[in-house]
Structure 1
Amino acid sequence: MQLYIGNKNYSSWSLRPWLLMTHAGIPFEEIKLRLSFTEGSEFKNTLKKLAPTGKVPLLVDGGLVVWDTLAIAEYLAEKFPSKQLWPADRKARAHARSVCAEMHSGFGALRSHFPMNIEASLPHVGADVLRTQPEVVRDVERIVEMWTELLVQHGGPFLFGEFSVADAFYAPVVTRLRTYGVPVLEAVNGYIDRMLQLPAMQAWTKDALAEQDFLDFDEPYRTARA
């Protein structure tokens, strides 16, 4: 299988299936493209030859092309049932799918004001956003509430006990909370630490830091760091 991804420093959508597959030991070939939102770019042209969306991530398995993170996760769970990518319990599995769908379609304010930027440390930006953007505060409060309840309900160390699709889906949020120095509860900080210490997550982070490929939309954040 081939997994098409974008820049590891910025591409939150790419991180999810990459982390899921790497942590689970599912073999794949990584094909990384430099992110671009411009029609006619190499990024768009390459991806649109494979799928109509022209976006990452994109999974190619022989003649089959699967796009969108949820679809990729479901395909992998069906193809590799022994990997137990979803919780084994039916009710827990339904709950995990619900929180993944919530991440997939929600938290727009957090995404907009706290873009994934692994190489950066921007607590001053985070403090300013939390002071002026109540929608971001509500997103953070909902995520902290969710994680806390799941960690208590399932006993940790991950959201549903064992690592699952749900953890992969919230991995970009883990990096955002650290990048922007968002204060959270001690239990949530412990979960963040465990996620960042995963060998697969450390491998992604190492590659992200090595890129040194700053894209145009990062200019305001680079200015803030100067």
Structure 2
Amino acid sequence: MSSYHLHITNKNYSSWSLRPWLLMKELSLPFEEHLHPLAPGSGYRQPQWKSFSPVCHVPCLHYHHPPSGFSDPIILWESLAIVEFLHEQFPNSRIYPDSLPARAWARSAVAEMHAGFGSIRQEMGMNVSIRVELSDEAFNEGLVKDLRRINEVWEEGLAKFGGPFLAGGEFGAVDAFFAPVVLRLGSYLGAGERFLGERAKGYMERINGLEGVREWVAAGVKEKERHEAHEVESLEGPGRKLVRDLREEEQSSGRA
């Protein structure tokens, strides 16, 4: 049994869960996954999760082999705290780059993603199963600003540190933190084409090709739960047209 237990929720919807999960998967860090589906009719905070998460949301990491003298597991309930803890626990795993300039840049970009980009979160809600066409009226001022900043960060990191990942030659924390944006850009058609440069588009393809990303998306599409708040969020607002739902295609292929 692993010492690390990662509590997450629906892979179709949870960008926050994806970050530590993908980092641990891609770097082959040992952990056991505990998936807790969102309750129907609920919001983002899930009171029934209080037994394992002090703030009733995920991701939440439990470390079951704490230092001598502590009988209870160590609990971390924010994605950024989880990643920093893993960096301490696995210093040779290149969660952050060895190079000081690259490490400083990566930490700054991780913190910016953790705290910012509110318009992307609001206007392009995480839903890996759908494809939504965005017309001109969907791109309000806040969303345009966020998308342009995403392109700036990606292009800067790739140019400064040589790629193929944002802070250099190896996948790390900064890539895990921006992976949900890659999936959102795949769900909302037109945003990437309008606002990403060629290097940034190539980076999107690279992240989409990772084994962990493919596994996450495939599992999300197969989930049977449909959480109303997330489904509404994905389509509300001007300039949106649902053109594809991979869940329906999955169900049709299963019946064939």
- CA-CA distance at 1:25 after TM superposition: 0.3
Among 134, 138, 152, the residue aligned to 1:129: 138
Query: Matched residue of 1:176: which SS?
Result: helix
Are the structure 2 counterparts of residues 33 and 51 from structure 1 closer, same or farther at C-alpha, using a change threshold of 3 Å? closer
Q: Does 1:104 align with 2:120?
A: no
Query: Matched residue of 2:58: which SS?
Result: coil
Unmatched segments (≥5 aa) in structure 2: 65-72, 244-256
Among 14, 19, 25, the residue aligned to 2:17: 14
Structure 2 residue aligned with 1:72 = 82
Structure 1 residue aligned with 2:242 = 225
Structure 1 residue aligned with 2:52 = 50
Instruction: Provide the TM-score with structure 2 as the length reference.
Output: 0.81
Are the structure 2 counterparts of residues 222 and 107 from structure 1 closer, same or farther at C-alpha, using a change threshold of 3 Å? closer
Question: Distance between the aligned counterparts of 1:175 and 1:100, measured in 2?
Answer: 17
Structure 1 residue aligned with 2:94 = 84
Question: Distance between the aligned counterparts of 1:201 and 1:60, measured in 2?
Answer: 23
- CA-CA distance at 1:77 after TM superposition: 0.8
Are the structure 2 counterparts of residues 27 and 99 from structure 1 closer, same or farther at C-alpha, using a change threshold of 3 Å? same
Question: Distance between the aligned counterparts of 1:11 and 1:88, measured in 2?
Answer: 30
- CA-CA distance at 1:220 after TM superposition: 5.8
Q: Does 1:202 align with 2:214?
A: yes
Unmatched segments (≥5 aa) in structure 1: none
**Structure with larger Rg:** 2
Q: Which structure has more helix as a fraction of its residues?
A: 1
Question: Distance between the aligned counterparts of 2:47 and 2:132, measured in 1?
Answer: 30
Query: Matched residue of 1:81: which SS?
Result: coil
Question: Distance between the aligned counterparts of 1:129 and 1:158, measured in 2?
Answer: 30
Instruction: Check whether the contact 1:38–1:44 (CA below 8 A) recurs between aligned residues.
Output: no
Query: Matched residue of 1:173: which SS?
Result: helix
Q: Does 1:29 align with 2:28?
A: no
Fraction of identical pairs, as percent:
39
Among 152, 161, 165, the residue aligned to 1:154: 161
Query: Matched residue of 1:54: which SS?
Result: coil
Are the structure 2 counterparts of residues 220 and 66 from structure 1 closer, same or farther at C-alpha, using a change threshold of 3 Å? closer
Question: Distance between the aligned counterparts of 2:156 and 2:235, measured in 1?
Answer: 36
Structure 1 residue aligned with 2:145 = 138
Query: Matched residue of 2:130: which SS?
Result: coil
Are the structure 2 counterparts of residues 137 and 219 from structure 1 closer, same or farther at C-alpha, using a change threshold of 3 Å? same
Query: Matched residue of 1:160: which SS?
Result: coil
Instruction: Check whether the contact 2:124–2:184 (CA below 8 A) recurs between aligned residues.
Output: yes
Name the Cα RMSD after superposition: 1.9
- CA-CA distance at 1:188 after TM superposition: 1.0
Instruction: Check whether the contact 2:6–2:32 (CA below 8 A) recurs between aligned residues.
Output: yes
- CA-CA distance at 1:35 after TM superposition: 2.1
Kindly provide the CA deviation profile for residues 177-221 of structure 1, in whole angstroms up to 9, marking residues without a partner as x.
111121222211110000010011111111011113211111364
Query: Matched residue of 2:131: which SS?
Result: coil
Structure 2 residue aligned with 1:118 = 128
Q: Which AA in structure 1 matches 2:89?
A: K
